[in-house]
Amino acid sequence: MAKERNTGFNTAEKVLDRLKEPEDYQVILLNDDYTSMDFVVEILMTVFHKSAEDAACIMLHVHKKGKGLAGIYPWDIALTKANQVHSLARQHEYPLKCNVEKV
């Protein structure tokens, strides 16, 4: 009968140590004096899948406070959404910008 070796490592604990939830990042929209409010609402609805009502609330917050939270995602998704915002803004000749920040 084979004897089980005790290596001092618990394999289940090692697996759990490696399986961590991805860190979250927030996409922050920044206000400017040129991008139309309608375009910001459209971005929030198409890129961030917000309802019309939520998009309007976020847009007003960005307008009044200078910046606002568009969403929280893992790094790769947050970066992709930020790139989509910048690309759409360029296509429509708006200077709309957003930042990706660790939560």
User: For residue 49, is it within any domain?
Assistant: yes
In a domain, 79, yes or no: yes
B/e letters for 11-44, b = 16+ CB within 10 Å, e = fewer, are eeeeeeeeeeeeeebbbbbebeeebeeebbbbbb
Q: What pLDDT, on the 0 to 100 scale, is given for residue 7? A: 60
**Per the domain annotation, does 8 fall within a domain?**
no
How many domains, in total, are found in the chain?
1
pLDDT on residue 69? 98
Q: Is residue 76 situated within a structural domain? A: yes
Average pLDDT of span 16-45? 93
Q: Kindly state whether residue 13 falls inside one of the protein's structural domains.
A: no
Q: Is residue 5 part of a domain?
A: no
In a domain, 37, yes or no: yes
Range of the domain at 61: 22-102
pLDDT digit string, tens, across residues 56-89: 999 999 999 999 999 999 999 999 999 999 999 9
Q: List, in sequence order, every residue forming a beta bridge with 74; answer none if it has no partner.
A: 24
Sequence letter at residue 86 = H
3 within a domain of the structure (yes/no): no
Average pLDDT, the chain: 91
Domain harbouring 95, CATH code: 3.30.1390.10
d(CA 67, CA 30): 4
Parallel, antiparallel or unpaired: strands 97-102 and 67-74: unpaired
Copy the structure tokens of residue 71: 């969403």
Q: What is the pLDDT of residue 5?
A: 60
The predicted structure's pLDDT at residue 18: 76
Check residue 2 and give its pLDDT: 56
Greater pLDDT, 33 or 4: 33
Burial class (CB in 10 A: 0-12, 13-18, 19+), 100: middle
